[in-house]
Structure 1
Amino acid sequence: MFDKIKVLVVDDSAFMRKMISDIINSQKDMYVIDTAKDGFEAIEKAIKLNPDIITLDVEMPRKNGLEALVELKKVSKAEVIMLSSLTSEGSSITIEALRLGAFDFIQKPSGSISLDINKVKDEITEKIRYAYAYKNKLKTNNKVISNFVSNKSKVNSFNNNFNALLLGASTGGPKVLFDLITKLPNNIDIPILVVQHMPTGFTKAFADRMNKSSNLRVVEAEDNQKIENNVVYIAPGGYHMTVVNGVIKLDLSPQIHGVRPAVDKLFISAANYYKSGVIASIFTGMGKDGAEGVKEVKKNGGHVIAQDESTSVVFGMPKAAIQTGCVDIILPEDEILNYILKLLKRA
């Protein structure tokens, strides 16, 4: 016998509360412990009922999803999954929610009242399971370090002239990337190219939010954009981003691993252009996107970093990269920035 995952569903629409509840209650390993119509009610019920997971609508009256999240983080140990409609305000709030500790978000298919919410049924239930697993992951103080070389010896022995930094992430990535990118110095003197799995519209809000807090210029990438040093290029949702002769190319070729943009597309193209001048880092995320890309980076003489299991929200992408044998070092989240700066001789 196992404990079912207890979920609190928060949405100002009675229809949406019913539809989301039906999706969750149709699963054998989870159930809706209660629902709430706004942020105030969500906070009261979270305290009273101690749910494992909260699905939280972004756009609500009286207290919106972001305001509710801040309060929920103070009174509840539940992991929070944001449900967002694609509006300018909704996408901006969602990005800020991820920075403030929301586990992940799900885009409603057709706005605040999505009659077709069943289109994302699998995504809702899958992310609830991942959030529950993360909540219950054993916390240890043992940091996983690469079996290949130690941190210090690798930095001191690596003398390549690097000319591009590639970053790839999915679930849990927005906060990690925000923390890393906003701490990069303004004289890093290489371009940073980023794939974060996100739907169309949210990557613009992600880039804008980071740009306000960064020493570097952060932009959502555009087709045929010349790549410049000290600029961070975020792959736009819905498009693969590649590097061709020092220029960004966007395309609508088929999804890879069910996603577009894909880390593999960026890493492979950049490795073939920059050759041994690449530092590539794979962060937390579901699936195996990036594994083929790190093979290409290593084949061309570049350097590969993977986030460790203890600090990954989901260890899927780093694990797949590590299993290729092409990762140079495995580091916890809070050591990756300094390691990159040492490679670049900026620290």
Structure 2
Amino acid sequence: MTPQRKVRVLVADDSPVVREFIVHTISGSPDLEVVATAASGDEAAELTVRLSPDVITMDLQMPGSDGFAGIARVMAEKPTPILVLSSNREEVKGFRALDLGALDLMEKPVPESMHRFGAELTRRLRLLATVPVIRHLRGLRKPSKPVEVRRVRAELVVIGASLGGPKALAALLGALPADFPVPIAVVQHISGGFTEGFARWLCHESGLDVKAASDGAALAPGRVFIGADDFHLTVERDCVRLVEGPAVSGFKPSATPLFASAARSFGPKACGVILTGMGRDGAEGMRELKRAGALTIAQDEATCAVFGMPHAAIELGAIDRVLPLDRIAPALLQVVR
């Protein structure tokens, strides 16, 4: 029997101490190996072209050519899954890196979280190494044709996303007008502590009023709520709720409780959207929305970083429309007016 090939990792960080810690952590896993280290973005890109690693960890703050330059070069020359390690989880810089093509974001370790960081780092590297990365043009590709959608005017849009979601959400929300006439609630699987920074980044990218959700916050036209860490996000007729409870599909927040609550509270006057992501989260919730008469939309495979979540919902028969990312905003505009 042929032994399974190890996941080959390139580590890019200008700090020798951090590099050594990350290398030591990865080397402790029998299925992972570090193939090289880099101290600048350009060096990381050059090593990526030469060595073809399966996945890269990328620091952002490096002298000379920084992590942003490195990500841009990697995505142009040798598209490879990139995990960004950020030193400040509330800054928008990490989300700029996702917009350039990095797939995931983690906070750099602090002394009290070293053990947790190591376990989470190796888990994510294994996951990211399975993702096929392709070049996607930033933003919307061209003016979109109208999309025929049905019937009842929607009063709420609910969105679920995971791996690749931040970039997709920025493109989708950025294509909506500032006077979008209904509220939007979003569950995005993201590292703990990054929600506030993520909301600020989306606000800047879109021009909409994007906030980290707080319990009881009022739904309002054009307001976008992002699910908070360690709570499920749900909706009532006039507000959002943060709900405790076990993880669903391995996630908290999970898209399924959000979609299910929208089905209960808004019925056919809701619209559900499921974007790029790995796994099956949100599929059952989308089925509940469809059964309630709501319009359900899935991002298509060609524009997804990972087609897992949309595919799972499609397999359940829970989706009315499968659309490229650049056609989802026109569909939403039609259904809310």
The TM-score with structure 2 as length reference comes to 0.85
Question: Structure 2: which amino acid aligns with 1:73?
Answer: M
8 Å CA contact 1:271–1:302 kept in 2: the answer is yes
In structure 2, distance between residues paired with 1:239 and 1:34 = 39
- For 1:264, the equivalent position in structure 2 comes to 256
String of CA shifts for 1:115-170, please: whole Å, max 9, x gaps.
Answer: 65322144233233233xx1379xxxxxxxxxxxxx96x52xx2202101111100
- For 1:36, the equivalent position in structure 2 comes to 38
- For 2:275, the equivalent position in structure 1 comes to 283
8 Å CA contact 1:24–1:125 kept in 2: the answer is no
Moved more, 179-188 or 16-25: 16-25
Residue 197 of structure 1 and its aligned partner are, at CA, apart by 0.7
Residues 247 and 77 (structure 1), Cα distance of their counterparts in 2 relative to 1, 3 Å cut: closer
- For 1:120, the equivalent position in structure 2 comes to 120
8 Å CA contact 1:130–1:314 kept in 2: the answer is no
Residues 116 and 4 (structure 1), Cα distance of their counterparts in 2 relative to 1, 3 Å cut: closer
In structure 2, distance between residues paired with 1:17 and 1:112 = 18
Residue 85 of structure 1 and its aligned partner are, at CA, apart by 4.0
Residues 113 and 166 (structure 1), Cα distance of their counterparts in 2 relative to 1, 3 Å cut: closer
Residues 280 and 61 (structure 1), Cα distance of their counterparts in 2 relative to 1, 3 Å cut: same
In structure 2, distance between residues paired with 1:177 and 1:229 = 18
Q: 1:224 aligns with which of 205, 216, 220?
A: 216
Residues 47 and 126 (structure 1), Cα distance of their counterparts in 2 relative to 1, 3 Å cut: closer
8 Å CA contact 1:95–1:202 kept in 2: the answer is no
- For 1:148, the equivalent position in structure 2 comes to none
Report whether the alignment pairs 1:296 with 2:298.
no
Q: 2:151 aligns with which of 150, 159, 180?
A: 159
Unaligned 5+ segments in structure 1 are 138-150
- Describe the SS at the equivalent of 1:226: coil
Matches within 5 A, 1:80-119: 80-89=82-91, 92-110=92-110, 114=114, 116-119=116-119
- For 2:68, the equivalent position in structure 1 comes to 66
8 Å CA contact 2:89–2:107 kept in 1: the answer is no
Question: Structure 2: which amino acid aligns with 1:80?
Answer: I
Residue 97 of structure 1 and its aligned partner are, at CA, apart by 0.7
Residues 76 and 326 (structure 1), Cα distance of their counterparts in 2 relative to 1, 3 Å cut: closer
String of CA shifts for 1:81-128, please: whole Å, max 9, x gaps.
Answer: 212345434xx2211111111122234453799365322144233233
Matches within 5 A, 1:234-249: 234-249=226-241
In structure 1, distance between residues paired with 2:79 and 2:311 = 27
Residues 309 and 76 (structure 1), Cα distance of their counterparts in 2 relative to 1, 3 Å cut: closer
The TM-score with structure 1 as length reference comes to 0.83
Residue 24 of structure 1 and its aligned partner are, at CA, apart by 4.5
In structure 2, distance between residues paired with 1:13 and 1:175 = 28
CA RMSD between the two structures: 2.8
Residues 200 and 23 (structure 1), Cα distance of their counterparts in 2 relative to 1, 3 Å cut: closer
- Describe the SS at the equivalent of 1:292: helix
Question: Structure 2: which amino acid aligns with 1:58?
Answer: L
8 Å CA contact 1:265–1:293 kept in 2: the answer is yes
8 Å CA contact 2:165–2:188 kept in 1: the answer is yes
8 Å CA contact 1:66–1:97 kept in 2: the answer is yes
In structure 1, distance between residues paired with 2:321 and 2:36 = 44
Residue 7 of structure 1 and its aligned partner are, at CA, apart by 2.6
Residue 39 of structure 1 and its aligned partner are, at CA, apart by 3.1
Unaligned 5+ segments in structure 2 are 136-145
In structure 1, distance between residues paired with 2:231 and 2:68 = 28
Q: 1:201 aligns with which of 193, 196, 206?
A: 193
Question: Structure 1: which amino acid aligns with 2:118?
Answer: N
How many residue pairs get aligned? The number is 325
String of CA shifts for 1:18-48, please: whole Å, max 9, x gaps.
Answer: 4433554566765322112343532443354
- For 2:48, the equivalent position in structure 1 comes to 46
